[in-house]
Amino acid sequence: MTKKNCLNENKNCQFTKEEQLKYASNYFRGNIKHELESHGVTNAFSEDSSFLIRFHGMYQQDNRDLRRERFLQKLEPLYSMMIRCRLPGGIITSKQWLEIDNYVKNYTLYGTIRLTNRQTFQIHGILKKNIKSIHKVLYNIQLDSIATANDVNRNVLCSSNPIETMIHKEVYEWTKKLSNHLLPKTNSYFEIWLDQKKISTTENEPILGKTYLPRKFKTALVIPPHNDVDIHANDMSFIAIIRSNKLIGFNVLVGGGLSIDHNNKNTWPSLAKELGFIQSDNILSIAESIITIQRDWGNRSNRKNAKTRYTINNFGFDIFKKEIEKRSCITFKQSYPYIFLNRTDQFGWKQDIYGNWNLILFIPNGRIFNSNNIFLKAGISEIAKIHSKKFIITANQNLVIANISSSEKDRINDIAISYGLIQKYSKIRLSAMSCVSFPTCPLAMAEGERILPFFLDHLEHILIKYNMFSEDIIFRISGCPNGCGRSLLSEIGLIGKSINRYNLYLGGNYIGTRIAKLYLENIDSEEIIKNLDILIHRWSSERNINERFGDFCIRSKIVKEILNPISDFW
Ligand code: SRM
Ligand code: SF4
């Protein structure tokens, strides 16, 4: 293994075990095929293979609720796989949806589809013996799970607001092109999961390289004024600049990211920084330059220091920017001004500029299942049977039934109502988000998705008490400091520490351009509610006109504003 990717040639640089595995895996093949075909006593992949299958969009998990009971019964954990589909911009046809819905019903342990905050869906609970069947289903409907996990460019986000369709269509086309351009080129996915023949003996990855990226890499395209994709959580973002109703190009940003380690000051969240403006047709060149710099300069000896924001910090922003210009032969122009007004999806029936209708459904936590009174799974599949166009998964874990003609509208509305898909919810609930966390996430420290309704019930009650019920607050939970629920970009953010204990962060803003600051550490749900009651009461009586909760927390010095996360976050 060469050391040419070492961060610092002079130091005695050690590659991580993950880097060595990637290098030796022959483009993500490793021993996966053999382990897939051997039917031993375990339902699990080995540790090495479970790392490598991530490059094919799967995670090995077990049901953590059952761990203890199975241990006592001397059974191995209930292993299964979660698969994440690649869906640039979140667009899926109704026909594809029906096939997925059908698969989930017949082949999974949990029977649910989980919309993610990166505009795709995850299927949890697929047994190893069934894993090839999901890839066949995906292949038959022109989908796959390539590059949705591990050290590659992940599912590319695109604003999902269906109203400004003309611009949306153009930006979505760039989203697809970017996704395809940055995709791994190896044939290993097709050989392992679809039994296709090896097409060439010499593979190469012109953009990503043999050991791919040092860490996961995230890309988003956004159409102001809606920051619905949360650009600051991304390594690379493109802000569509629209003048006279035309897309004239993009402002480019780099280095956003949110994960931290509790009490590890060498980790910090970061907002993405503006590089400048480019014309639309320069987007692939610029993206390729950014990603190859991260490939070549990113830290491969410490995965906690490997994301783009750390590379930028290690080398310096100006040097990073100059290198992009050098590699792409494109000079950034001055960024254009733009504004963000919100992040939350618009719900209900909305007509686009062509006169087509869109029904934007609120999906609590993105979890598609049938409960006692809301039949999300059944209702959406009924709609998919009659609506021949597309659905859009939003980066807020919601679903748009898009492009509905006026003649279809009443029928779809009737189905939506009869299955309970259209309900009245408070603003705070509609904006809230949590990561998955227990029982499937192996990294979970505290509850996420399952405890969100508890907090929202209490918060609604508090808002009613202080006459603030019509107000919106961005409230988010992440079950651990990896921060998948994007808590550090919320006005009230919880990050799990251990069972029923969280750190409480405040002071992020409504539009997602300010990082939240730690207010209280390691408190339980009762203390969280008690403290939020006091703070919301103060906000209701001391706020300036229309002042948002996050802004109030900063102005009132409840928490200090984070101007430079490296020095101010901890
Ligand atoms: Fe995430 C890992 C779920 C968005 C930061 N994330 C995980 C895993 C795969 C756990 C694991 O590694 O075994 C979780 C699977 C749980 C499960 O059972 O489904 C998981 N992440 C999610 C999802 C499903 C949360 C959701 O409820 O929507 C999101 C899937 C997005 C997708 O479709 O690709 C998800 N994860 C995020 C985000 C938010 C975003 O990207 O906008 C972040 C923070 C932004 C960022 O990257 O800085 C995020 N996830 C992480 C990290 C920390 C990465 C790091 O920089 O250190 C991990 C752990 C890791 O990679 O080592 C992680
Ligand atoms: Fe799992 Fe932590 Fe991500 Fe939640 S934030 S899904 S607990 S890794």
pLDDT surpassing 90 at residue 517: yes
C-alpha 566 to ligand 1 mean position (Å): 22
| Segment 345-357, tens digit of pLDDT | 999 999 988 889 9
What's the pLDDT at 225?
94
Q: For atom 22 of ligand 1, which residue has the closest CA?
A: 484
What's the pLDDT at 486?
98
| Segment 470-510, tens digit of pLDDT | 999 999 999 999 999 999 999 999 999 999 999 999 999 99
Ligand 2 in reach of 442 Cβ (< 6 A): no
| Segment 219-235, tens digit of pLDDT | 999 999 999 999 999 99
The encoded tokens of residue 563 equal 């101007």
> CB of 47 within 8 A of CB of 32?
no
What's the pLDDT at 420?
95
> CB of 249 within 8 A of CB of 237?
no
The encoded tokens of residue 21 equal 């595995």
Non-local CB neighbours of 66 within 8 Å, separated by 6+ positions: 77, 78, 439
543 is catalytic: no
> CB of 471 within 8 A of CB of 549?
yes
> CB of 350 within 8 A of CB of 360?
yes
Distance CA 305, CA 214 (A): 9
pLDDT surpassing 50 at residue 278: yes
In this prediction, residue 12 has a pLDDT band, given cuts at 50, 70 and 90, of: low
pLDDT surpassing 80 at residue 202: no
Ligand 1 in reach of 138 Cβ (< 6 A): no
218 is catalytic: yes
The encoded tokens of residue 60 equal 């090995």
Instruction: Give 243's strand partners.
Output: 246
Distance CA 440, CA 125 (A): 9
What's the pLDDT at 38?
79
> CB of 34 within 8 A of CB of 192?
no
C-alpha 281 to ligand 1 mean position (Å): 31
| Segment 105-163, tens digit of pLDDT | 999 999 999 999 999 999 999 999 999 999 999 999 999 999 999 999 999 999 997 77
> Which residue out of 85, 158, 435, 553 is catalytically annotated?
435
Which atom of ligand 1 lies at the shortest distance from residue 148's CA? Answer: 34
pLDDT surpassing 80 at residue 11: no
Ligand 2 in reach of 448 Cβ (< 6 A): yes
Non-local CB neighbours of 14 within 8 Å, separated by 6+ positions: 301
What's the pLDDT at 2?
38
Which atom of ligand 2 lies at the shortest distance from residue 434's CA? Answer: 4
C-alpha 220 to ligand 1 mean position (Å): 15
Ligand 1 in reach of 86 Cβ (< 6 A): no
- Burial class, 39, CB count within 10 angstroms (exposed 0-12 / middle 13-18 / buried 19+): exposed
Long-range CB pairs of 436-440, under 8 A, 24+ apart, other chains included: 436/114, 436/122, 436/479, 436/484, 437/477, 437/478, 437/479, 437/480, 437/496, 438/64, 438/65, 438/479, 439/63, 439/64, 439/65, 439/66, 440/61, 440/63, 440/64, 440/82, 440/110, 440/124, 440/125
pLDDT surpassing 60 at residue 6: no
| Average pLDDT value for residue range 391-413 | 96
| Segment 36-77, tens digit of pLDDT | 987 677 889 999 999 999 999 999 999 999 999 999 999 999
Ramachandran bin of 546, using left for φ above 0, alpha for ψ from -120 to 50, beta for the remaining angles = left
pLDDT over 70 percentage in the chain: 96
C-alpha 500 to ligand 1 mean position (Å): 20
What's the pLDDT at 7?
42
Q: For atom 3 of ligand 2, which residue has the closest CA?
A: 484
| Segment 66-98, tens digit of pLDDT | 999 999 999 999 999 999 999 999 999 999 999
13 is catalytic: no
Average pLDDT for the chain: 94
Instruction: Give the 3-state secondary structure of residue 61.
Output: strand
Chain centroid to Cα 162, Å, comes to 20
Phi, psi of 290 (to 5 degrees): -60, -45
| Average pLDDT value for residue range 509-530 | 98
In this prediction, residue 99 has a pLDDT band, given cuts at 50, 70 and 90, of: very high
> CB of 252 within 8 A of CB of 332?
yes
From the CA of 229, which ligand is nearest?
1
Ligand 1 in reach of 442 Cβ (< 6 A): yes
| Average pLDDT value for residue range 521-542 | 98
What's the pLDDT at 13?
53
The encoded tokens of residue 344 equal 């939350």
> CB of 145 within 8 A of CB of 58?
yes
Give the residue from 503, 530, 508 showing the smallest Cα distance to 519: 503
- For residue 237, give Cα distances in angstroms to 172, 212, 251, 335: 14, 20, 8, 13
Q: Which amino acid is at 283?
A: I
Q: For atom 2 of ligand 2, which residue has the closest CA?
A: 480
Give the residue from 72, 81, 10 showing the smallest Cα distance to 43: 81
What's the pLDDT at 37?
85
Least confident of 188-202, 329-343, 394-408: 188-202
Long-range CB pairs of 63-69, under 8 A, 24+ apart, other chains included: 63/109, 63/125, 63/439, 63/440, 64/438, 64/439, 64/440, 64/441, 64/442, 64/444, 65/438, 65/439, 66/439
Which atom of ligand 1 lies at the shortest distance from residue 397's CA? Answer: 28
CB count within 10 Å of CB 390 equals 18
pLDDT over 90 percentage in the chain: 91
pLDDT surpassing 50 at residue 3: no
484 is catalytic: yes
Sign of CA dihedral 204, 209, 213, 218: negative
From the CA of 439, which ligand is nearest?
1
DSSP state of 500: T
From the CA of 59, which ligand is nearest?
1
Q: Which amino acid is at 380?
A: I
Which atom of ligand 1 lies at the shortest distance from residue 233's CA? Answer: 45
> Which residue out of 54, 86, 154, 343 is catalytically annotated?
154
Secondary structure of 379-413 as H, E, C letters: HHHHHHHHCCCEEEECCCCCEEEEEECHHHHHHHH
Ligand 1 in reach of 128 Cβ (< 6 A): no
The bridge status of strand 121-126 relative to strand 157-158 is: unpaired
Give the residue from 320, 251, 256 showing the smallest Cα distance to 292: 320
| Average pLDDT value for residue range 191-195 | 95
